Structure 1
Amino acid sequence: MAAFRGPKVWLWRWRRNPLRRRSDRLEAWVVLAAWTLTVLGGVAMGMVASRSVENNLAQQRVEWRPVVARLTEAAPGTAAPSGSTAERVWAEVRWTARDGSVHTGQARVAPASEMGTTVTVWTDTEGLMVTKPATESEARLRASLIGALVGATAAGVPFVGGRLVRGRLERRRMDQWDEEWERVGPQWERKTW
């Protein structure tokens, strides 16, 4: 059975009232703590995640370098007409890392490219192939989106926890009222006339 909810009165939990129970005071503190943790925790976690992602992407822009690679075999597909933007195909390429070690891997190239054709690939500090690093504007957008997602998720934890505690307090209050009614209810059945 749900409790009767009257008109909305702001800060009713904090007002002086002789009918206010101990559970009402406890619920007031639970609501305050849940909302404080929801807002502050969500904002803080979102900002930390956003800054972390942006720093990581900035480090990638500094460390990752373009390297010239050569096709080790002819690329599959048919040659596209000049000036067309045909889809690219995967082909085996070989490149030399900064430390002089030779690496091979798969890269996207134009269809029907000849063996020995040069393509540009991006490598990390160890010479392993990586994707092209995000530009500053892409990094800012990506960091903002991830920060918003992390912030919303972090804010959801105390919010849901507060709702669960409040639900448990409400059920406990209803059970107490039921017990009280079982004691008082039979007295109402007596007729006075």
Structure 2
Amino acid sequence: MSGTRVKRRLWRWRSNPLRRHDDVVEAWVVLVVWLVITVGGTLVGLMAAHATDQALARQRTERYPVQAVLVTDSSRPAIGDSSSGDRVTAKVRWTAPDGATRTGYALVDSGQKAGAHVVVWLDARGALAHEPPSPAEAALESALFGGAAALGLAGLALGCGAVVRWRLDRRRIEAWGREWDVVEPRWGHRTG
């Protein structure tokens, strides 16, 4: 296929005698929106996924497990109580790295009696924390956050493009009304 045929096929609207300036602007807006979605969405998604992966990797290196003792029973939760699957919040006691005995509330398996040994996770300051995600869970979370960021940018770009196109449509309709006010009286009589 020759170069001029490709150019005509891709930019057919350029040679249209009815083409308005707003039509050209709209074509460029659509092109820019799709470029932002494809290029920008990819970059934002990759950056968000990378940042999430780094944060989760930092959690895995900073958090560590310690043995704790249940202070209260971890009975099965009643309907409406705070729980996560078969895990419930219960009071636990553990020895901090500085030798001090501390107590707090952590998620433990349900159905255990007071005095049972459980594993809890501490952060770099020695405070109770959630167990960090495994590398596979972290990869999934990173992918989800990256996808959400890309979709957010795509939605924003599509929304902005839709607003610009709506304004261009309004301008075209107003211009058509002004032109009709000039042309309509020249047509002579009205029907109806």
Normalised-by-shorter TM-score class: 0.7 to 0.9
Shift in CA distance, 21/89, structure 1 to aligned 2, threshold 3 Å? closer
Q: CA deviation at 1:112?
A: 4.9
Q: CA deviation at 1:185?
A: 1.1
Aligned equivalent of 1:113: 113
Aligned equivalent of 2:146: 147
Which SS does the other structure have where 1:46 is aligned? Answer: helix
Which SS does the other structure have where 1:121 is aligned? Answer: strand
Shift in CA distance, 130/47, structure 1 to aligned 2, threshold 3 Å? same
Shift in CA distance, 128/182, structure 1 to aligned 2, threshold 3 Å? same
Aligned equivalent of 1:127: 126
TM-score, structure 1 as length reference: 0.79
Equivalent residue letter for 1:24: D
Q: What stretches of structure 1 move > 6 A for 4+ residues in a row?
A: none
Q: CA deviation at 1:25?
A: 2.0
Aligned equivalent of 2:92: 93
Asked if 1 retains the 8 angstrom alpha-carbon contact of 2:69 and 2:114, the reply is no
CA–CA distance in 2 between the matches of 1:58 and 1:182? Answer: 67
Residue-by-residue CA offset, 1:125-152 (whole Å, 9 max, x unaligned): 1111111111111111111111111110
Aligned equivalent of 1:26: 25
TM-score, structure 2 as length reference: 0.79
Q: CA deviation at 1:10?
A: 5.8
Overall identity of the aligned pairs, in %: 39
Gaps of at least 5 residues in structure 2 are 1-8, 77-84
Asked if 1 retains the 8 angstrom alpha-carbon contact of 2:48 and 2:149, the reply is yes
CA–CA distance in 1 between the matches of 2:22 and 2:114? Answer: 79
Which SS does the other structure have where 1:68 is aligned? Answer: strand
Aligned equivalent of 2:184: 185
Asked if 2 retains the 8 angstrom alpha-carbon contact of 1:67 and 1:122, the reply is yes
Gaps of at least 5 residues in structure 1 are 1-8, 79-85
Q: CA deviation at 1:36?
A: 1.3
CA–CA distance in 2 between the matches of 1:159 and 1:70? Answer: 54
RMSD over equivalenced CA pairs, Å: 2.4
Which SS does the other structure have where 1:126 is aligned? Answer: coil
Aligned equivalent of 1:170: 169
Which SS does the other structure have where 2:92 is aligned? Answer: strand
User: Hey, which of these two has a bigger chunk of helix by percent?
Assistant: 2
